[in-house]
Amino acid sequence: MTTHRPPAQAGLIGLTPAAADEVPSSLFNPECFTLENGLEVIVVPNRRAPVVAHWLWYRIGTADSPVGKSGLPHFLEHLMFKGTERIPPGEFSKIVARHGGNDNAMTSYDFTAYFQMIAKDRLPLVMEMEADRMVNLRLSDAEVYPERDVILEERRQRVDNEPASILGEELAAAQWLHHPYRLPVIGWMHEIASYTREDCERFYETWYAPNNAALIVVGDVDAAELRPLAEAAYGGIPARPVPERARVHEPPQHAERLVTLRDPRVRQPNIIRSWLAPSLTSPGAEHALPLEVLAQVLGGSATSRLYRSLLVEQGLAAGAGAFYRATSKDGTSFRAYASPRPGVEVDRLEAALDAEIAKLLQDGVAEEEVERVQRRMLAETIYALDSLNSAAHIFGSALCSGQTVADVEAWPSRVAAVTKEQVDAAARATLRPETSVIGRLLPAEGQA
């Protein structure tokens, strides 16, 4: 099982307005239907091999954790492998493997997802198994509490032993003053230690229902073939009342923040500047797709501004780039980052990074930069079309964050329509000091 943050959608979109005739009218051409119990089903046929990717997504993630139980959705993800009356604890993945497949699961802020990659003729088997644990999970103290210790150890290894991960948590906690995106996906250590079996059963019974889920199947199958299988496996599960995903709202931010982590384990310093930003489904969504383009112009490749300036022209950085994740239910962040070359003072690199941002805000982007990025983004859609799991991830993360299938299919044409003026407006609306956090990862004092 993996703790996961959704990737940026940059590889899904784009071309220049000048070449609009080359923009595909749709991306994956999915086939969709909904079962009577509310389970939404998306099928993306891909006949290249007799293989399917079967994903079940629940619209529940770490940002929906009960108060004082941060990371509980991630813990339940682990417990979903502990068995039902039909499948003994630990046997789910073994059964999938015996049939030549592989499986895993992931939790992020807005979703929890379970998937299997398997031969087409084994699809009914994994569908029945996944449907079984949607309603028939059986938890005992003997299963829950040892697994809680596993999560505590996972946190020690992946976060507490990794200075970059510690900084990431501190940065998120400073970026979001109130919204639960400030929580670690895995949860805080003391709150993980407080989980009880009753907490897990209550959360499972509240959120794990067909009407709070989306089934996405990609591969050698179409809707006509899948529908009777879905009806047989999932159709008999009754819908249940599911509460609204009630989340607190982020208040206005007025002060730039600085987070500095010094640690003797740090070998490569790093600087991150992170701004609060709109997503495709939050207030300010009109800026989301222009921000996708901006992230690529600023730091998406070896031809980007930060790479050319900080690495090639000034020789200050060993690495630099920008990151923006548009698929998020309640907002997101826009980040620029850089790591200094040996012998370069961090303050000098930070000043150079800030100078590039200031230049961008003053002069804007160039028309040719936008067009080049849009061409590359469309070319990269080929990779998404080739990958069964990429297609499933794109649809699943979109649906769990409040987007629709139509939104996914419209990405190429919508980004093709982005203009230089829209990118400039998005930059000036987003890259403001009062909504930013500076993160510095540094060696301990006196350490070379």
Taking Cα atoms as reference points, which of 442, 260, 447 lies closest to residue 340?
442
> What's the sign of the alpha-carbon dihedral 36, 37, 43, 49?
negative
Token pair for residue 182?
A: 């400030």
State yes or no: is 170 an active-site residue: no
CB 145 within 8 A of CB 120: no
Q: Return all residues near 394 (Cβ < 8 A) that are at least 6 apart.
A: 9, 12, 28, 384, 408
Catalytic hit among 77, 191, 369, 409 = 77
Secondary structure of the chain in HEC code, one letter for each residue: CEECCCCCCHHHCCCCHHHHHHCCCCCCCCEEEECCCCCEEEEEECCCCCEEEEEEEECCCHHHCCCCCCCHHHHHHHHCCCCECCCCCCHHHHHHHHCCCEEEEEECCCCEEEEEEEEHHHHHHHHHHHHHHHHCECCCHHHHHHHHHHHHHHHHHHHHCCHHHHHHHHHHHHHCCCCHHHCCCCCCHHHHCCCCHHHHHHHHHHHCCHHHEEEEEEECCCHHHHHHHHHHHHCCCCCCCCCCCCCCCCCCCCCCEEEEEECCCCCCCEEEEEEEECCCCCCCHHHHHHHHHHHHHHHCCCCCHHHHHHHHHCCCEEEEEEEECCCCCCCEEEEEEEEECCCCCHHHHHHHHHHHHHHHHHHCCCHHHHHHHHHHHHHCHHHHHHCHHHHHHHHHHHHHCCCCHHHHHHHHHHHHCCCHHHHHHHHHHHCCHHHEEEEEEECCCCCC
- Rounded CA-CA distance 270/64 in Å is 31
Catalytic residues: 77
